[in-house]
């Protein structure tokens, strides 16, 4: 599986290298596939003005290869955002947040001119929801949010010991069939105490670079 992740990370890097101008600021996500992409960035650190990171771990990795990391508030928007996904469908709706960085990932995606998702072929599914959907919640609202999730048909499980970079908690929703991702994203976000959820449907990916055994397949939204 790592071989497919490396293959798709290299393909995404080639795309970014050929499409960005000098002194560009890019967005970089969190996770194992994104980490392979970060390693590729070593080749063009001199061309980048810097990056916006979706997590403290990603910021650390970027700094370790010489890429300056900026606060998004000082940048405004990023030209391109590269990140992985836990699940994706053919419409490029995604589930993200297995690494608990969903809120910052969603913010960067919203401010990016182009959002490229990189994943291996196992992440492409016909209907989202087999992977537990993460929801970031204000700590004191955790039980209330869980009860509301049950009303929506899901099984909420508190992610023990997980505190996000924002100081919040994560509830993972199991057994939720997500046949209307945009509507479900909105319904979950309307629950009081929810910071955001891991559905990226209203701001879906623009392109999906999918690593397969026969090469990298590119799916456009």
Give, in order, the Cα–Cα distances in Å from 146 to each of 38, 83, 96, 142, 180.
35, 28, 19, 6, 20
For 71-125, give the secondary structure using H, E and C: CHHHCCCEEEEEECCCEECCCCCEECCCCCCHHHHHHHHHHEEEEEEEEEHHHEC
The CA distance from 198 to 21, in Å, is: 31
* Known catalytic membership, residue 105: yes
Give, in order, the Cα–Cα distances in Å from 51 to each of 41, 79, 80, 210.
11, 10, 10, 23
The CA distance from 122 to 169, in Å, is: 27
Residue tagged active-site, from 11, 40, 105, 185 = 105
The CA distance from 109 to 81, in Å, is: 6
The CA distance from 15 to 12, in Å, is: 5
Catalytic residue IDs:
105
């Amino acid at each position: 599986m790592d071989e497919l992740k490396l293959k798709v990370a290299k393909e995404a890097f080639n795309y970014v290298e050929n499409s960005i101008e000098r002194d560009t600021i890019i967005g970089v996500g969190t996770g194992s596939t994104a980490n392979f992409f970060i390693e590729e960035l070593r080749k063009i650190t001199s061309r980048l003005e810097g990056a916006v990171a979706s997590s403290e771990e990603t910021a650390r990795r970027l700094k370790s290869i010489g890429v300056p990391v900026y606060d998004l508030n000082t940048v405004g928007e990023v030209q391109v955002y590269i990140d992985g996904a836990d699940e994706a469908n053919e419409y490029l709706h995604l589930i993200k947040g297995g690494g608990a960085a969903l809120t910052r990932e969603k913010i960067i995606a919203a401010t990016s001119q182009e959002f490229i998702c990189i994943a291996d072929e196992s992440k492409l599914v016909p209907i989202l929801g087999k992977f537990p959907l993460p929801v970031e919640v204000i700590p004191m609202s955790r039980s209330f949010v869980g009860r509301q999730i049950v009303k929506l048909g899901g099984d909420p499980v508190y992610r023990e010991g997980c505190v996000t970079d924002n100081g919040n908690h994560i509830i993972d929703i199991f057994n939720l069939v997500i046949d209307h991702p945009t509507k479900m994203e909105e319904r979950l976000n309307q629950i009081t105490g929810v910071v955001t959820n891991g559905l990226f449907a209203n701001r879906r990916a623009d392109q999906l670079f999918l690593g397969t055994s026969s090469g990298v397949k590119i799916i456009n939204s």
